[in-house]
Structure formats: structure tokens, C-alpha cells
Amino acid sequence: MITLVRGFKDILPAETALWQHLEDVARQLFDDFGFAELRIPVLEQTELFARSIGADTDIVEKEMYTFADRSGASLTMRPEATASVVRAYIEHKLYAKDPVWKLYTIGPMFRRERPQKGRYRQFYQINAEVFGLEDPRADAELILLLMTLMGRLELSGIMLHINSLGCAACRPHFKEALRSFLTESTAELCSDCLRRREKNPLRIFDCKVPACKEAMLDAPSILDHLCDQCRSHFETVQASLERFQIPYQTNHRLVRGLDYYTRTAFEVLAEALGAQDAVAGGGRYDSLVKALGGPDQPGIGFAIGVDRLIELLAHQRQGLEKRPHLFIAALGTGAQDRAFGWLQELRMQNVRTEMDFADRSLKAQMRRANKLGAPYVLIVGDRELEEGSAELRNMSTKEQEKVRLQDLVEVVVNKTRN
């Protein structure tokens, strides 16, 4: 038997109703907040990610699905969406058409991580990116969108963490402070972090090795090293969250796994998820567009881990499964033929209708109707056809009523509309 590739998964029909519900709620919300959808490819030139995400990140160092195309070009299955959205924004010169862009995209990402609960090699994200807004209210607006989505999905038990990562003016001073802290400390760092200590010490906050986590317990806080502009930006973000009663915690250890962030960074954590507790993360990336060859335009965005969100919403799955409105139990050749006609006619009226083509016994057909969960069954045999009527059975009250065949479609449409 040929099976799934390790770390990949199928999403079966029993689950897809919840996925669709989540996407519907998200699309509606993006609409309300003035976001337009962008669809981007899953395959990009490797250099796009190497240059944007950062060479010493876990993603670029060990997680990318990179391969040589038959022509020899190095291609990569996208591990995240922001780089591709920025590429598209630059490539199509969107900035020249409008100074502000609010975009969202939904789709799969690929990272060759160790598969475990909440960690897959193909997983799904909902991404939002805003270009051209420097105002801290734009940061708050985006976080507000994210938390409103969580609210509309009736998700509880989540916590928003926020931090500021400073800018090109103040971050170098913090990096220096962090480096001297780490050089003086006797704690053992993993070999990756020893290397990061020189090149990119902030990354060590994101290391999952227990010894490195411990080494960072008393690390200095970036919030004590922000320049005036970054501090005031962060204060406005916080004040805006308070204004809209969004609970949050500041967390000076929050750095995110990608290098391009500046100023605001945030994550939504859910305790119920266990070890992989991040449902969403994002932040501001004011230098990324320029770094990728575009104009000097600020950006800010987030990514929601849909697989983890679905896991948190699993208890909502039940009510979402679609059931037929009507099952037609047709007995005999003549009734089967008429039923086939009604099937199409009713479906054209948005009535989800099913029948059994095998013309089995009434008992077998009723069993099938029950299994499908149809609230109404139309029972029609050759005798009923002759009389010009059929029996419409309400499956929960067990009541049956006679319906004239000429009124059938209208009666059924009315019943299933309420």
C-alpha cells in the first residue's frame, strides 16, 4: 500500500466542515476590515526565503523543502507566506497603485520539522499583511482583527503576548548588551546558539533547547533598550489594545522565529495545545520590503496556524456537518424515475436531496435516510403515483402527511426553509 509521506496528512470530510466554517468566518472578517485576498504560488526561488527569513533561523537552516528543478534552479516549497506576499507586492508594483494595501492569503506551508502533535510538514496558515502604514494604530488594528476572529470563533483560553523588537537604531545596542550578558554567563549554550551569540543573539530567545532557555532566564530586556520613537510606538499599541479591552501580556522574550521583524511582535498562545501552544504570530517588518528590492515601505502582518486552531475548535465540529434536507424513498421503477426528476428540481432550489438508486426495500431506504440524518423523507411508490400524491414523513415527530405531487416541490422547499 502506498501511504502518506511522513508529517503530511489528509483532511477528511468529517473535518472539512469545520475548516470551511473557519475560513468563512475569516473571509467575512477580512471583508469587514477592508482586506483583499491575494493568491500566491507554493513554490518560490530559494533565495527569496534565504534573504527574507534570515540565514540563522531554524527555518532556513534546517526546515526548508529545497530542491533543484530539472533546469538546475534552486526552488523551495514556501515555509511561510510573508516573503511571497512581499515579492508579489514588489513584482506587481502594487505600491505605485495605492499607498496602502491590506492583503490576506490562505494556504499550505511546508517545513521539514520533526512531526508531532501540532507540528506537521505541510500545515495551513491564514496570513494577513498590511503595507504602507507606519502608525502604531495599524499594529493595534491588525491585532484587533486577529483577536476579533478568535472571538467570532468563540475561542477561549487564549492569551495575547506582545513585545517590541526595536529598530535599526536601538536594536544593535540591545544585541550588544545581550552578547555581553551571554559571554559573562557560565551557562552552556547549544552549538547553534553559540554561533547565534555572535551573529544574531536575539535568536537565542527562540531556541527550544532547555539549557538555552535556562541561560536566558535572567537575560536583559529589550524593552529597557528601546529608543524614544520605538518606546512611544509601543505605548500607543498598548493603549489602543486597552481601549478596545483586548487583554495582553508584554513578554520581552518574544522574538519570533524570523529575522525580519521590527518594533511590534505578537503571539497568541493557547494553553490547551500543550507543547506547541502558539496559534498565531506576527509583527511589524519595516525594513523587509526594501531588503527584498522594493521601495522603503513599512509592513506588518500575522500568520494563524490553522491546524492548531482547528484542534482548539474540534468540539464545535458536530453541528457543522451538512445533512440532506430530504431523502426520497422511491419504490418501483415508475417512482424511481419521477424521484430522479425531483432530485434535480429540488437541488436547483437549494434543497439538499438524496435518493437510493438501488430501489431497495422501504426498510432499507428508511435506514439509509436515518444514516444520512435527513429530517424529512418522501415516501413514494407506484400506487402513490397513480393517486397523484406521496407521503412526507417528519423523521423526528414521526408524523406523516399527504402531499399532492403537483405541490411537492413548493411544499418541500417551504418545509426545509424554516
Residues that bind Mg ion (CB under 5 A): 257
Q: Which residue has the cell 547549544?
A: 190
- Pick the closer one to ligand ATP by CB: 120 or 205: 120
226 contacts 234 by C-beta, under 8 angstroms: yes
Residue of minimal Cβ distance to Mg ion: 257
- Pick the closer one to ligand ATP by CB: 132 or 305: 305
Could you tell me the smallest distance in angstroms from the CB atom of residue 221 to ligand ATP? 20
How many angstroms separate the CA atoms of 250 and 280, rounded?
A: 16
- Start-to-end CA distance of the chain, whole Å, equals 47
123 lines the binding site for ligand ATP (CB under 6 A) = yes
Could you tell me the smallest distance in angstroms from the CB atom of residue 195 to Mg ion? 18
- Pick the closer one to ligand ATP by CB: 272 or 358: 272
276 lines the binding site for ligand ATP (CB under 6 A) = yes
Give the binding range for ligand ATP (CB under 6 A) out of 21-29, 68-76, 275-283, 387-395: 275-283
With CB under 5 to 8 Å by kind, the binding choice for 63 among ligand ATP, Mg ion, none is none
Could you tell me the smallest distance in angstroms from the CB atom of residue 283 to ligand ATP? 9
Could you tell me the smallest distance in angstroms from the CB atom of residue 59 to Mg ion? 7
Kindly tell me which residue out of 51, 102, 111, 338 binds ligand ATP, with binding defined by CB under 6 A: 111
Could you tell me the smallest distance in angstroms from the CB atom of residue 133 to ligand ATP? 21
With CB under 5 to 8 Å by kind, the binding choice for 119 among ligand ATP, Mg ion, none is ligand ATP
414 φ/ψ angles, rounded to the nearest 5 degrees: -65, -45
305 lines the binding site for ligand ATP (CB under 6 A) = yes
- Pick the closer one to Mg ion by CB: 58 or 286: 58
Give, in order, the Cα–Cα distances in Å from 375 to each of 207, 277, 324, 338: 54, 40, 8, 21
280 lines the binding site for ligand ATP (CB under 6 A) = yes
With CB under 5 to 8 Å by kind, the binding choice for 278 among Mg ion, ligand ATP, none is ligand ATP
Kindly tell me which residue out of 113, 311, 359, 391 binds ligand ATP, with binding defined by CB under 6 A: 113
Q: How many residues bind ligand ATP (CB under 6 A)?
A: 19
Encode the chain in three state secondary structure. Answer: CCCCCCCCCCCCHHHHHHHHHHHHHHHHHHHHCCCEECCCCCEEEHHHHHHHHCCCCHHHHHHCEEEECCCCCEEEECCCCHHHHHHHHHHCCHHHHCCCEEEEEEEEEECCCCCECCECCEEEEEEEEEECCCCHHHHHHHHHHHHHHHHHCCCCCEEEEEEECCCCCCHHHHHHHHHHHHHHCCCCCCHHHHHHHHHCHHHHHHCCCHHHHHHCCCCCCHHHCCCHHHHHHHHHHHHHHHHCCCCCEECCCCCCCCCCCEEEEEEEEEHHHCCCCEEEEEEECCCHHHHCCCCCCCEEEEEEEHHHHHHHHHHHCHHHCCCCCEEEEEECHHHHHHHHHHHHHHHHCCCCEEECCCCCCHHHHHHHHHHHCCCEEEEEEHHHHHHCEEEEEECCCCCEEEEEHHHHHHHHHHHHHC
How would you classify the pairing of strands 101-110 and 122-131? antiparallel
Give the binding range for ligand ATP (CB under 6 A) out of 35-43, 65-73, 117-125, 146-154: 117-125
Of 387, 417, 418, 382, nearest in space to 402 by CA: 387
Could you tell me the smallest distance in angstroms from the CB atom of residue 16 to ligand ATP? 17
Could you tell me the smallest distance in angstroms from the CB atom of residue 298 to ligand ATP? 19
Kindly tell me which residue out of 308, 325, 338, 393 binds ligand ATP, with binding defined by CB under 6 A: 308
- Pick the closer one to Mg ion by CB: 220 or 257: 257
Residue of minimal Cβ distance to ligand ATP: 305
- Pick the closer one to ligand ATP by CB: 205 or 327: 205
Binding mask of the shown chain, residues 230 to 259, with x at each position contacting ligand ATP by CB under 6 A: --------------------------xx--
Could you tell me the smallest distance in angstroms from the CB atom of residue 57 to ligand ATP? 9
119 lines the binding site for ligand ATP (CB under 6 A) = yes
Q: Which residue has the cell 495575547?
A: 160
- Pick the closer one to Mg ion by CB: 107 or 257: 257
Q: Which residues bind ligand ATP (CB under 6 A)?
A: 80, 111, 113, 118-120, 123, 125, 256-257, 276, 278-281, 303, 305, 307-308
